[in-house]
Chain A
Amino acid sequence: MKLSKYLLLAVFATPFLNNCADFNEQTVQPVDAGTADFTKYVAIGNSLAAGFQSNALYPEGQAYSYPNLLSQALRVDFRQPEIGQGYGDRVQIADFSNPASPVTTVLTLNPGVLPTQPEGGYQNLGVPGAVLDDYLGGTRVNASGATIDTYLQRLTGSNAAPYAFALGTTGKTFSAYLKEQNPTFVSFWLGNNDILGYVTSGGLRAFTSPTAFATSFAASIADILSTNSSVKMVVGNIPGVTSIPFANFVGPAAKPLFTASLPAGVNTLYASATFYNGVPQLGMKENKFAFASFSVSDLDKPDSTMILLTGQGALNWMAASSANPADAARVTAITNYWKGFIVAATAGTANAIPAATAAAMDNATLAGTMKQLTYGLYMQTFGVDQATAIAELNARGFDVNFAQPFGLHPHNPIPNQFILDKNEIAIAKTVTALFNGAIAQVVAANSAKVALVDMNKIFADIVTAGFVVSDGVTLAPRLGSLFSFDGVHPSNRGHGIVTNEIIKVINSKFGANLELVRINRIPQGIPLADDPS
């Protein structure tokens, strides 16, 4: 019986044996940094750096922001602001029945309460909406024409955007935050919004003057390099407007639909246009026409006219006319759009039109108001008096008349906001090239410490090829693939591609040995409604 006791003992002793399991201490191995020092990495940027996707910022997108992915490749601690559920109106899929063209809906995310500021602060200083000038804290003009302080300072006010709210902004500039962090390595990709607002508004919003951009860029880089003697950095330049699905998705997709549905012989579409003085160095051709025409057959040509993603809905209004009772609902949609437009365009001016006044307008009154506004813009642009403006515009066939078929006649044009016309594409390209020239110059002047990631070429090459393949994953420059559903910001995997391009530059420039991000390990993260069908 003694033996069985020993056996019992042996059984009870087994938990101690478990400690013999082969279990080696594992640590995250530091990377070979080459001539760089990754001890403290800080990202300066805009919504792309923040991880904004599908028109919102939310934790599952933040997790795959290119700065966060890069910090993992650098194997350093990196903190991004907590954003609760998120903020913004996220575009997400409600109905997947047709995966090629899913039905989307919008979810307004709730950022929740202000999180406690972590010790050591945040290293991701990407703030949605930031323009280049915000780095040093200049002044700029916001969308509605008002002069505001720097983006970050504005965020401390009553209109605080939740993201910066989480960042704990207290009126400091990016530069001040960066100095506090005292980084050894910085990624700086800022300036996209200096032209993007122009593009996404169909040429209605201003772009930053290229001269001012060049000055500001040089000053920003000098400011970062003055932080300490060891800091090194990568700088991204500005991708072209034709690279983003926001600009290049709708037109080519709509072309066959137009071709099939337009009356025989009709091939010309009309959109309202912005007046320009001729400024050849910015690509601006003089434009005194209140509308522009473009050909359906050119819709898939990137140098022709682009229908913006925001204009997708307006395509449903094609050919609607107030003369046709069956079009009543569509005509109301058109006039409602213009009512909103005249309210926004006059807001803050002496001739401000209250929303209620606009809402009460009949079609004739609305048409008259739109004409007045157009005359005013013409006078402002070309410095002429009203009589001249009216005479010159009339001579060019200008009128507003909702009885004409929408989009098919210059008097009932597609709103300018939804269209980037040929002139505007040329302007955007010229300005982007000027920005990138300035960036290249600053990088060259500081080449010992600053490396350039040619984002413009990277995205252009992907668009030309039609796809990019990495780790067995094929991504096309489309919504839901390389790009998220807002058509501007990359998807999770798009961020992976961006990160790898940055890593390649870091490796070659600084002799580092960073591992590429594995694209097949990044979840697609397609935004999906809670109860999708």
Chain B
Amino acid sequence: MRLRLLCLGLFLITSTQAFAGGFAIFETSVRVSGMMGAYVADGRDVSTIFFNPAGLAQLSGFQFQTGAVFIAPNTRFRGPYPYSVEETRMDSKTFPIPHLYASYQIMEGLTAGLGVYVPFGLGSKWDRNWVGAGFATETGIQTAVVAPTLAYMLPFKEYGEISIGGSLQIGVLSAATLERRVTDFTTPTNGEPRMIRLEGEGDGLYYGYNVGIIYKPMDKLSVGFSYRSQLELNLVGDATFTNLPESQFIPGAKGDLSITTPANWTVGVSVRPTEDLTLNLDYVNWGWSSYDTLIIDFRPEFETAVLQDSKSPRLYEDVYQIRFGAEYIVRAVQGLTVRGGVGFDKNPVPDETIDPTLPDTDRLIGSLGASYFVTPNVGLNFYYTFIRGFEREATNSENNFRGYYNTFANIYGVGISLTF
């Protein structure tokens, strides 16, 4: 109970920025992110609660890990195409994203755990006078999940070790912010823009699950599979209208908004050619096609001739990620482990619906990480990732707001691991 209170305290101050395709986040562990999150067949760290709950069955004693990653994205827009190549930069901001995992081995082969992490998030902010202000000036999605987990290793091992595990994902935080400038009217004489802002908060807990299996036919090889269900975020939004006619934009208007996060499945292999070296390769499939339309449903009493429900087609596509990661124990320096990885992340946003709320792009990702064990029980974890987004030519979008988006991001992470 104390643990949970602590976690909630952490998340209250959290803002997030999506840094996988769409608005998914897989930078949920300083250790595992150092090896590009390629972990579905490995799972020897307690953060496997996120990557594959089955991995927990291998862990003994009490394990604890916490940390945070700091995502510093940089996005630029040039356009509007074809008339201009003028550049606008998204407001830069660093988003801290914490995580926490703990596990306890109840008996040989059976381990229970609890994870607290942020599986999805988005944060983008543009100047209120920028050329795309009519689409977005601020967009945010926040989530946090508490995941009680149980994993079990089958007792018969004639053909190798088989572990299974599952998490219940209890969504404890869901919030979204959508803000844009209203361009249907002339600007007031003082130059202040007319704005519409919707801040939504979850109307309660939401639930999902995460299940996985790891098969380890021999010491040097394991394969794994995990599946994560959709999460349905139902948000109640409070609208704020600035410089808009109150007869049509009724103060205190409420609107409902529902976001269904995609299910995903991961299959991977982990090999250990030597005792000190681990190589992991994962393939992840994201079911983003579930994100078809973004509907803002204003309550009937607030609907007017001008303010109506909005339905924005998103038409996201199913996409994949390839993650390759390596971990090496440096025997020359007592207590040091180094990691590295590369990944490719396909973006789910189709050409037709790309807009400044989420100017997504395919990404090449490189990561570096290290752990240093001060004592055998206390490890300090560090990690750095550079994300290089390919230039996104948004020159065919149906909203006709066209141009070029360029994105890169730096992510830093620090954390601590405790084992007893």
Binding site for B on A (CB under 8 A): 1, 3-4, 7, 10-11, 14, 17-18, 20-24, 26-29, 58, 60, 72-73, 75, 85, 92-93, 95-97, 99-100, 107, 471, 515, 518, 520-521, 523-528, 530, 532-533
Shortest distance between the CB of A68 and any CB in chain B (Å): 11
Chain B residues lying within 8 Å of A72, measured Cβ to Cβ, are 83
Question: In the complex, are the beta carbons of B382 and A7 less than 8 A apart?
Answer: yes
Question: In the complex, are the beta carbons of B189 and A530 less than 8 A apart?
Answer: yes
Alpha-carbon distance between A96 and B245 when the two chains are bound, in angstroms: 7
Alpha-carbon distance between A100 and B399 when the two chains are bound, in angstroms: 27
Chain B residue nearest to A102 (CB atoms) is B245
Category for how many chain B residues contact A: 35 or more
Question: In the complex, are the beta carbons of B406 and A21 less than 8 A apart?
Answer: yes
Shortest distance between the CB of A305 and any CB in chain B (Å): 32
Chain B residues lying within 8 Å of A28, measured Cβ to Cβ, are 82-85
Which stretch of B57-65, B105-113, B180-188 is in the interface?
B180-188
Alpha-carbon distance between A7 and B190 when the two chains are bound, in angstroms: 52
Question: In the complex, are the beta carbons of A26 and B247 less than 8 A apart?
Answer: no
Question: In the complex, are the beta carbons of A527 and B247 less than 8 A apart?
Answer: no
Known: A18-B74, A21-B389, A99-B305. A533 touches B185 (CB 8 A): no
Contact for B183 among A18, A471, A518, A523, CB less than 8 A:
A523
Shortest distance between the CB of A77 and any CB in chain B (Å): 12
- A-B pairs, top 7 by smallest CB distance, nearest first, are A523-B183, A532-B245, A518-B400, A528-B185, A96-B245, A21-B408, A97-B247
Alpha-carbon distance between A269 and B389 when the two chains are bound, in angstroms: 71
Question: In the complex, are the beta carbons of A14 and B384 less than 8 A apart?
Answer: yes
Question: In the complex, are the beta carbons of A58 and B186 less than 8 A apart?
Answer: yes
Shortest distance between the CB of B36 and any CB in chain A (Å): 16
Alpha-carbon distance between A92 and B399 when the two chains are bound, in angstroms: 28
Alpha-carbon distance between A7 and B404 when the two chains are bound, in angstroms: 34
Let me know if B8 is at the binding interface, CB within 8 A: no
* Main SS at interface, chain B: loop
Starting from the known contacts A4-B336, A75-B82, A527-B186, 17 additional A-B residue pairs (CB-CB under 8 Å) come to A3-B336, A7-B368, A10-B368, A21-B74, A22-B389, A28-B85, A60-B186, A72-B83, A96-B245, A99-B248, A524-B185, A526-B186, A527-B185, A528-B194, A530-B190, A530-B243, A533-B245
Alpha-carbon distance between A17 and B387 when the two chains are bound, in angstroms: 10
Binding site for A on B (CB under 8 A): 74, 78, 80, 82-85, 134, 183-190, 194, 243-248, 304-306, 330, 333, 336, 338, 368, 370, 372, 382, 384, 386, 388-391, 399-401, 404, 406-408, 410, 412
Chain A residues lying within 8 Å of B194, measured Cβ to Cβ, are 528
Alpha-carbon distance between A21 and B404 when the two chains are bound, in angstroms: 13
Question: In the complex, are the beta carbons of A29 and B82 less than 8 A apart?
Answer: yes
Chain B residue nearest to A8 (CB atoms) is B382
Alpha-carbon distance between A85 and B194 when the two chains are bound, in angstroms: 17
Alpha-carbon distance between A26 and B245 when the two chains are bound, in angstroms: 41
Shortest distance between the CB of B222 and any CB in chain A (Å): 28
Shortest distance between the CB of A16 and any CB in chain B (Å): 11
Shortest distance between the CB of A71 and any CB in chain B (Å): 9
Question: In the complex, are the beta carbons of A96 and B406 less than 8 A apart?
Answer: no
Return 18 A-B CB contacts under 8 Å, by A number: A3-B336, A4-B336, A14-B386, A17-B386, A18-B410, A21-B389, A28-B82, A28-B85, A60-B187, A95-B245, A99-B248, A107-B189, A471-B400, A521-B400, A523-B183, A524-B184, A528-B185, A530-B189
Chain A residue nearest to B372 (CB atoms) is A4
Chain A residue nearest to B364 (CB atoms) is A22
Question: In the complex, are the beta carbons of A520 and B399 less than 8 A apart?
Answer: yes
Chain B residues lying within 8 Å of A58, measured Cβ to Cβ, are 186
Shortest distance between the CB of A12 and any CB in chain B (Å): 10
Question: In the complex, are the beta carbons of A525 and B406 less than 8 A apart?
Answer: no
Shortest distance between the CB of B284 and any CB in chain A (Å): 23
Question: In the complex, are the beta carbons of A523 and B85 less than 8 A apart?
Answer: no
Known: A520-B399, A533-B246. A92 touches B85 (CB 8 A): no
Question: In the complex, are the beta carbons of A520 and B400 less than 8 A apart?
Answer: yes
Chain A residues lying within 8 Å of B305, measured Cβ to Cβ, are 99-100
Contact for B85 among A22, A27, A95, A533, CB less than 8 A:
A27
Alpha-carbon distance between A97 and B244 when the two chains are bound, in angstroms: 12
Alpha-carbon distance between A10 and B412 when the two chains are bound, in angstroms: 12
Known: A4-B372, A523-B134. A22 touches B83 (CB 8 A): no
Chain B residues lying within 8 Å of A92, measured Cβ to Cβ, are 186
Chain A residues lying within 8 Å of B83, measured Cβ to Cβ, are 28, 72-73, 75
Chain B residues lying within 8 Å of A11, measured Cβ to Cβ, are 384, 412
Shortest distance between the CB of A420 and any CB in chain B (Å): 30
Chain A residues lying within 8 Å of B407, measured Cβ to Cβ, are 21
Chain A residues lying within 8 Å of B401, measured Cβ to Cβ, are 521
Chain A residues lying within 8 Å of B386, measured Cβ to Cβ, are 14, 17-18
Chain A residues lying within 8 Å of B189, measured Cβ to Cβ, are 85, 107, 530
